[in-house]
Chains A and B, each alone.
Chain A
């Protein structure tokens, strides 16, 4: 079946540090890939997305590139802020599978001043 694996946290960083969260996937079809962010006490917000190989999603200084050859979609940000402290979920969706989202386990990121 389809699955998403992402690095376990928590990841603790200082402000202005570089952030990378690894995400790899296995899928029977051709998935769309997403990063969602969940701030404490809130629902999920879409952070960025990519629908085909070599697409780069970007938003709020975060970037991720759809790498079909390595089945990866790693999230990066060059300089994190305290406000980036949250849980980040990598997810895939295959349209033929009823638009079901398959999530990774989530990575908690804590940015300290």
Chain B
């Protein structure tokens, strides 16, 4: 199984709503990533989890709250978002043994959740 799954596929929410995005992988990968992608732009890294611990936060506003309940699951909790947060949110994973392991660490991407904030 070389698949990263994300749910929901589409999400529309108001600025006062609380919602969550979910990402799952069963490849035994120990690093998981959240990216934000605006239209016609490359993905921008938001968070990295390594061995279920947050290792990188790219100065993301606190209205985005990541969570890694176990090595296969990654959530992104959303609260009080702004319309400019509308984007495609991508999850990725790799076998991410920082400083060790294979000479490259391919990231496997999920299909994304397309988020619209009204």
Contacts from A to B (Cβ < 8 Å) = 32, 34, 36, 42-46, 49, 51-52, 89, 93, 95-96, 98-101, 103-106, 108
B71, CB-defined interface residue at 8 Å: no
* Nearest-neighbor residue (CB-CB) of A31 within chain B: B104
Chain B nearest CB, measured from A4 CB (Å) = 9
Is the beta-carbon distance between A43 and B90 smaller than 8 angstroms?
A: yes
Rounded to whole angstroms, the CA-CA distance of A109 and B77 in the bound complex is 34
Contacts from B to A (Cβ < 8 Å) = 4, 6, 31, 40-43, 45, 48, 55-56, 90, 92, 94, 96, 98-99, 103-112
Q: What total of A-B pairs shows CB separation below 8 Å?
A: 63
Chain A nearest CB, measured from B17 CB (Å) = 24
Neighbouring B residues of A99 by C-beta, 8 Å: 31, 48, 94, 96, 98, 105, 107
Is the beta-carbon distance between A43 and B98 smaller than 8 angstroms?
A: no
* Nearest-neighbor residue (CB-CB) of A103 within chain B: B42
Is the beta-carbon distance between A105 and B42 smaller than 8 angstroms?
A: yes
Partner of B41, one of A32, A46, A106: A106
Rounded to whole angstroms, the CA-CA distance of A36 and B42 in the bound complex is 11
Rounded to whole angstroms, the CA-CA distance of A101 and B34 in the bound complex is 12
Rounded to whole angstroms, the CA-CA distance of A34 and B48 in the bound complex is 19
Is the beta-carbon distance between B56 and A42 smaller than 8 angstroms?
A: no
Chain A nearest CB, measured from B44 CB (Å) = 8
Neighbouring A residues of B110 by C-beta, 8 Å: 43
Is the beta-carbon distance between B48 and A44 smaller than 8 angstroms?
A: no
Rounded to whole angstroms, the CA-CA distance of A52 and B55 in the bound complex is 27
* Nearest-neighbor residue (CB-CB) of A4 within chain B: B42
With A32-B104, A93-B105 given, is the CB distance from A98 to B48 under 8 Å?
yes
Is the beta-carbon distance between A103 and B43 smaller than 8 angstroms?
A: yes
Partner of A100, one of B48, B103, B106, B111: B48
Neighbouring B residues of A52 by C-beta, 8 Å: 103
Neighbouring A residues of B92 by C-beta, 8 Å: 44
Is the beta-carbon distance between B96 and A42 smaller than 8 angstroms?
A: no
Neighbouring A residues of B45 by C-beta, 8 Å: 100-101
